[in-house]
């Protein structure tokens, strides 16, 4: 086998970049006022996203090698990802840290778990060094790197009431772009979302991909609902810990470990930490995200403050049509 000389590496990189360009030129595209500075969204393997993420996704599909102990934390944006990441991280690292030493106190949860579409190097390092086998993604089930399925990795997926996701997503994108509600009308976002044009959309297809997979491989894919987790966090955290192979012992249960983790990861606690009030996520990137915008209201039913009757009927009808016959109920 040839050694990878610097020239060969450079040639391979050129070939790779040109192949990427060919892929992007062939994809459906859409520009929108939501993407200032990031340009256009592309539809890749049935799902919309920005180029930056898709390049990372394509790279991960090509070269990522999963280990059987990897646990994938997956979601569509704005469905409770930040919360699920915090909980999974706290569960898995509870022998290393407690509520006064957890990295969750000084880093936004997104920095505690590397992101498949962006942090391949860190994931590789973690495989070698850290013993924390967590990986996060927003990729659709059908776009996951094959090695994650072949290695039979556990996957936890969270979803949320579509109407609250639309409102949450609207504010998130608006705040990233520093747009006022006048400059970025809710109606425009709403109608794009309903046509499936949102980051990682169509939302319904994203959920259905994981739902079907969880029906086929229930021992590998745990399907969690944001609203249920809010209603009975103890039950879901216990189930989550068991599912990913880090069950609580009777002693831990008696000592209140579950309650401590729930408190550490609660919206009230995380949103009031200094790092999440004034810190930035990926500060080195052209559009870094202020951590505070990951924490807005965390209330169920905020959609009622934004939806007209017509919008409500549209989403209900769409949801009914999309989920008919699947066995999945989305309130």
Point out which residues bind ligand A3P (CB under 6 A). 75, 77-83, 86, 164, 168, 171, 265-267, 270, 294-298, 302
Residue number with CB closer to ligand A3P (81 or 102): 81
Least Å distance between CB 294 and ligand A3P?
6
Least Å distance between CB 32 and ligand A3P?
19
For residue 138, indicate whether it is catalytic: yes
Residue number with CB closer to ligand A3P (99 or 127): 99
Least Å distance between CB 34 and ligand A3P?
15
19 is written with which tokens? 């192949």
Catalytic residue among 3, 127, 138, 206: 138
Least Å distance between CB 45 and ligand A3P?
21
Q: Which residues contact 188 (CB under 8 A, 6 or more apart)?
A: 32, 33
Least Å distance between CB 237 and ligand A3P?
12
Taken in order 49, 52, 54, 57, is the CA torsion positive or negative?
Answer: negative
Strands 71-75 and 134-137, by their bridges, are: parallel
Residue 298 and residue 186 in contact, taking contact as beta carbons nearer than 8 Å: no
Residue number with CB closer to ligand A3P (66 or 90): 90
For 281-319, letters b (16+ CB in 10 Å) and e give beeeeeeebbbbebbbebeeebbeebbeeebeeebeebb
Least Å distance between CB 295 and ligand A3P?
5
Rounded to the nearest 5°, which phi and psi values hold at 2?
-65, 145
Q: Three-state SS for 22?
A: helix
Residue 81 and residue 165 in contact, taking contact as beta carbons nearer than 8 Å: no
Residue 109 and residue 82 in contact, taking contact as beta carbons nearer than 8 Å: yes
Tokens 């989920």 belong to 323
Give the start-end residues of each E strand in the chain.
29-31, 40-44, 47-50, 71-75, 134-137, 154-159, 221-225, 280-281, 289-290
Residue number with CB closer to ligand A3P (74 or 319): 74
Residue number with CB closer to ligand A3P (80 or 202): 80
Residue number with CB closer to ligand A3P (171 or 174): 171
Taken in order 166, 224, 111, 135, is the CA torsion positive or negative?
Answer: negative
Active site residues: 138
């Amino acid at each position: 086998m040839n050694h990878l000389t610097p020239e060969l590496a450079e040639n391979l990189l050129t070939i790779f970049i040109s192949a990427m360009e060919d892929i992007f030129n062939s994809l459906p595209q859409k520009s929108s006022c939501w993407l200032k500075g990031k340009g256009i969204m592309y539809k890749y393997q049935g799902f919309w996203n920005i180029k930056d993420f898709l390049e990372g996704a394509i790279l991960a599909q090509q070269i990522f090698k999963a280990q059987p102990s990897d646990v994938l934390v997956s979601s569509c944006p704005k469905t409770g990802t930040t919360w699920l990441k915090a909980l999974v991280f706290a569960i898995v690292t509870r022998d290393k840290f407690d509520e006064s030493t957890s990295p969750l106190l000084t880093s936004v949860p997104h920095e505690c778990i590397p992101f498949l579409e962006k942090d391949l190097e860190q994931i590789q390092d973690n495989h070698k060094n850290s013993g924390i086998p967590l990986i996060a993604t927003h990729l659709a089930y059908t776009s996951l790197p094959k090695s994650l399925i072949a290695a039979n990795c556990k996957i936890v997926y969270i979803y949320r009431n579509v109407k609250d996701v639309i409102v949450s997503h609207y504010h998130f994108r608006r705040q990233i772009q520093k747009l006022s509600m006048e400059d970025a009308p809710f109606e425009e976002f709403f109608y794009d979302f309903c046509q499936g044009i949102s980051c990682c959309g169509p939302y319904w297809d994203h959920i259905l991909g994981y739902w079907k997979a969880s029906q086929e491989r229930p021992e590998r894919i745990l399907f969690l609902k944001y609203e249920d987790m809010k209603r009975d966090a103890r039950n879901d955290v216990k189930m989550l810990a068991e599912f990913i192979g880090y069950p609580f012992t009777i002693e831990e249960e008696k000592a209140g470990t579950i309650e401590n983790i729930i408190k550490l990861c609660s919206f009230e606690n995380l949103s009031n930490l200094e790092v999440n009030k004034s810190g930035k996520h990926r500060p080195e990137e052209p559009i870094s995200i202020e951590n505070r915008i990951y924490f807005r209201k965390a209330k169920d039913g905020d959609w009622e403050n934004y939806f007209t009757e017509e919008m409500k009927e549209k989403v209900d009808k769409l949801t009914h049509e999309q989920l008919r016959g699947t066995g999945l109920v989305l309130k």
